[in-house]
Amino acid sequence: MATYPEQYLSIKKRFKKLSKAVENLGKVTRESGPIPDKTAHLIKLAASIAIRSEGAAHSHIRRAIQAGAKPEEIYHAIILLTSTLGFPTVSAAISWADEIIAEHKK
């Protein structure tokens, strides 16, 4: 079962209409084309890493795992970013993935 950050839960509770709209937008965009959920979450993971959003990266790692991604696929998606984003960013992202993958294995 996924756990959500306190900040996310607070925003969801305080701004119900906004939260519903954002969730609906995510659903509509996923359903708008042929890319499978696993691949979509790996793409979103890469975007999250590019903007250095640890929280979003955590979310998309969890969602990719739920969609069937193996740890090797998650790590590959991350290391593919090395020549574009640089090793320090990739190193940080690997540590984020390590946290979520270890959490998932429990």
pLDDT-derived band at 2, boundaries 50, 70, 90? low
Give pLDDT tens digits for 34-68: 999 999 999 999 999 999 999 999 999 999 999 99
pLDDT, the chain, mean:
93
Q: Return the structure tokens found at 57.
A: 């990266």
* End-to-end C-alpha distance for the chain, whole angstroms: 11
Q: CB under 8 Å to 55, separation ≥6 — which residues?
A: 5, 7, 8
Q: What is the pLDDT of residue 57?
A: 96
In the chain the domains, ranked by start, together with CATH numbers, are: 37-106 (1.20.1290.10)
Indicate the DSSP class of residue 20: H
Question: Please, are residues 89 and 81 in contact by the beta-carbon 8 Å criterion?
Answer: yes
pLDDT of residue 4: 75
pTM (2 d.p.):
0.87
Structure tokens at 37: 């959920």
What pLDDT score was predicted for residue 37? 92
Q: What is the pLDDT of residue 7?
A: 86
pLDDT of 1 > 60? The answer is no
Which residues have a Cβ under 8 Å from the Cβ of 18 and sit 6 or more positions away? Answer: 11
